[in-house]
Structure 1
Amino acid sequence: MHGTVFDIQRFSLHDGPGIRTTVFLKGCSLRCFWCHNPESIRRPPEIEFYPERCIGCGACVALCEHGANTITDDGVVTYDPQQCTVCGECIDDCFANARVLVGRAWSVDEVMAEILQDRSFYGDEGGVTLSGGEPMLQADFTAALLARCRAEDIHTAIETAGHYPWSTLEPVLPLVDLVMMDLKHLDSERHRDGTGVPNTHILSTARHLATETDKPLLFRTPVIPTYNDAPEVIDRIAGFVRDLIAARAASCAVRGETPAPVRYQLLRFHQLAGDKYRGLGRANRARDLEPLSKAQMDALSQRAHAMIHAGDPSAIIPNAQ
């Protein structure tokens, strides 16, 4: 079995507890205008082109049979992604690394070989996180990879947007130790404005996770200037998380179980993805936004803490800077 993977990040400290290996799967059902991983959005492999690195050697022009690469008389190379078949032949011969292949088919065995190299660093808390994009768009590959990790007694986590029917996620959950999920906006139309989709499936998935599973949950909100950084917006999301905590507690009480933790975190917007948009030839709609200061983020976190505190004072964790 193969999946389309665009990166494997080793010694990751921000994608779950402990030291982790994060496997980034390509393809996403959302189109967030601020996306920090724009190379993850489309499922097929892509080529990023950085003309400022190009030395004008013309090797890519000679290799390409489809006319995707052309060179002017003064040695300026241009790249037309519409003509490109993403065969990757020009990548190896690009000595200046002006071209980067984003995504390729990996087998479960290949990914596991990378993961097992890091196993000695995981300790008691670390493990493997499947991220993206959206790992549940490659549900069979995700399940197969999680099953192999479980067989190796490696802690597993997924980062998901939750935009799919519950029946997509439910079969995978026995293989998952932690679910991390974004809550970007509670107003469905504003959610659509920012991400291209309403939040109906997302809120439904969150409720299912809270009341029908015993999985530890970490809900997160990327705080995007002008979009969801208003205090009242964060208040509503925090209130929703508070209600999920209460619903889980009630559900577990009926079953005579101790509820697993439900936690909440704010993520600070940053501008580190600008080069990726340029390399992909896409417009960066968030390029003029100014990230919130640490003080502003802390103030929002304190409001969220006040909203959730009555339900579970341990539910807020520090902002990701």
Structure 2
Amino acid sequence: MSELDFTAEGTVFDIQRYSIHDGPGLRTIVFLKGCPLRCRWCSNPESQAPEPELFFRASACIGCGQCVPVCPVQALSKANPGFVDRTKCIKCGECTKVCPTEALKRTGRRMSLAEVMQELRKDAIHYRRSGGGVTLSGGEPLMQSAFAKQILMACHEQGWNTAMETTGCTTREVIREVIPHVDHLLMDIKAINPTVHAANTGVDNRIILENALIAAALSPNPVVRIPVVPGVNDNVTEIGAIADFAKLMPKVNTVHLLPYHSFGENKYTLLGRRYPLEGVKDMRPEAVAPLQAVVEAAGLKCVIGG
């Protein structure tokens, strides 16, 4: 086992406490920044770019103008649509330091392993009492594979359970290096049809499916997760194909169907971007029932939600 390096750093965009949907028990989720996919339904668009980004909340802006002179590249002006000229902005965060209402806010910051563990120790009593632990998510946590491995190893040193939500879009070497440190693998599979996958995520799924087979063999508790998205994979053909593939994955006996929701739509506005699925309505749980039947017909346990 490699030595722990508490000075090792990664980019974290959120640490969320008291989760009950991303592994057993009460969990703390560490969200690592960066993702090779561009899923059209992504609810954390601030996770996609590896570097910190700038949120601008127009409703909180009081027009004081204190941010304008501190911007080193003159990216801020009332004359700009959306106030921030995203083509100029270097995401340095200087403007956020003087904004009195936090209308301007930087998302994502560099943290050392020591700093992450300091945050996680605050919840250690909940892990012990509930059988919970720490989950890595993103973005795609394996884009920061060395840092992810350090967090997982440090958690195991504390006796904490570990989980990871991943797309598997990485190299085989990374899968073999990191997944043995994951107690509960939450493997996201969006589609089996490569055309459907590429059209809706921006990447081919060949390496994802290959890595899913390897990762499931390396983790003691693998689960397949399917975000069910209208017009993408909300049909028996695609869900049936994923269920058939899940049966090939070692030790997988459970599939989670995650009905589409638009909770992250506002974040696109904060980033000055348009939401790709604008106007698509959230899925009701009963709309997923026919797809649940398909999964169960394949001999797999099916859970709606996390």
TM-score greater than 0.5 by the shorter chain: yes
1:186 corresponds to: 192
Instruction: Write the letter of the residue equivalent to 1:129.
Output: T
For 2:98 and 2:130, the matched residues in 1 are separated by 43
Shift of 1:237: 0.9
Structure 1 residue ranges (4+ consecutive) displaced by more than 4 angstroms after TM superposition: none
1:278 corresponds to: 269
Q: Percent identity?
A: 39
1:13 corresponds to: 20
Matches within 5 A, 1:202-217: 202-210=208-216, 212-217=217-222
For 1:286 and 1:274, the matched residues in 2 are separated by 9
For 1:208 and 1:173, the matched residues in 2 are separated by 9
CA offsets 1:206-248 (integer angstroms, 9 cap, x no match): 11133x425210111000001100112111111111233xxx3
Whether 2:7 is the aligned partner of 1:29: answer no
Whether 2:165 is the aligned partner of 1:159: answer yes
Q: What TM-score, normalized by structure 2, do the two folds share? A: 0.93
Q: What TM-score, normalized by structure 1, do the two folds share? A: 0.88
Shift of 1:294: 1.7
Q: Contact 1:184 / 1:222 at 8 angstroms: preserved in 2?
A: yes
Q: Contact 1:69 / 1:77 at 8 angstroms: preserved in 2?
A: no
2:244 corresponds to: 239
Q: 1:95 aligns with which of 94, 97, 100?
A: 100
Q: List gaps (5 residues or longer) in structure 1.
A: 249-259, 310-314
1:197 corresponds to: 203
Shift of 1:261: 5.0
Report which of the two structures shows the higher radius of gyration computed on alpha carbons. Answer: 1
CA offsets 1:54-99 (integer angstroms, 9 cap, x no match): 1000010122121011245xxx982112222222121132122211
Give the 3-state SS of the residue equivalent to 1:318 in structure 2: strand
1:320 corresponds to: 305
Instruction: Write the letter of the residue equivalent to 1:316.
Output: K
Instruction: Write the letter of the residue equivalent to 1:318.
Output: V
Instruction: Please give the root-mean-square deviation of Cα atoms over the aligned residues, in Å.
Output: 1.8
1:135 corresponds to: 141
2:3 corresponds to: none
Q: List gaps (5 residues or longer) in structure 2.
A: 1-7
Change (3 A) 1:61 1:214: closer
- Which shows bigger deviation, 132-141 or 81-90? 81-90
Q: Size of the alignment, in residue pairs?
A: 298
